[in-house]
Amino acid sequence: MGKIISNVKNIDEATTSVTAAVEEQNAATGEIGRNVAEASTGTQQVSMNIVTVQDNAYQTGEASKTVLEAAGELSKLSVELRDQVAGFLVEIRGDGQAHSKNSTHTADNVVRYAQAAE
């Protein structure tokens, strides 16, 4: 009978050890599950941020194209304006004998200003 009691105690201790190990395993599994869920949430946030950055980069590219087109148009207009001013000055200088000395100085100042702007 003493042997049976000893065997029952050994079985009880083994059962207690197995139960404790199972509880620890369950806790570890739960922690792993929580960590995986947090990693998944973080990955989703990073993915959304990447999409936002891509959208912003596209919009910046489109805005750059618009600015480049506007700069090209301004360049063309400035050339046209310069040519028109030069033509105007040629006309003024051609009639310079009929105008006062003061208007010739004004035309020269306009030419200097136009050349400085180039």
Mean pLDDT highest for which of 31-35, 87-91, 97-101, 104-108? 31-35
Mean pLDDT highest for which of 42-46, 90-94, 111-115? 42-46
Which residues touch 115 (CB under 8 Å, ≥6 apart)?
Answer: none
C-beta separation of 85 from 114 below 8 A: yes
Task: Say yes or no to pLDDT of 26 above 90.
Answer: yes
Q: What is the pLDDT of residue 8?
A: 84
Residue 84: domain span: 2-117
C-beta separation of 99 from 92 below 8 A: yes
Task: Indicate the number of domains in the chain.
Answer: 1
- CA 52 from chain centre, in angstroms, equals 8
pLDDT in tens, 49-91: 999 999 999 999 999 999 999 999 999 999 999 999 998 888 8
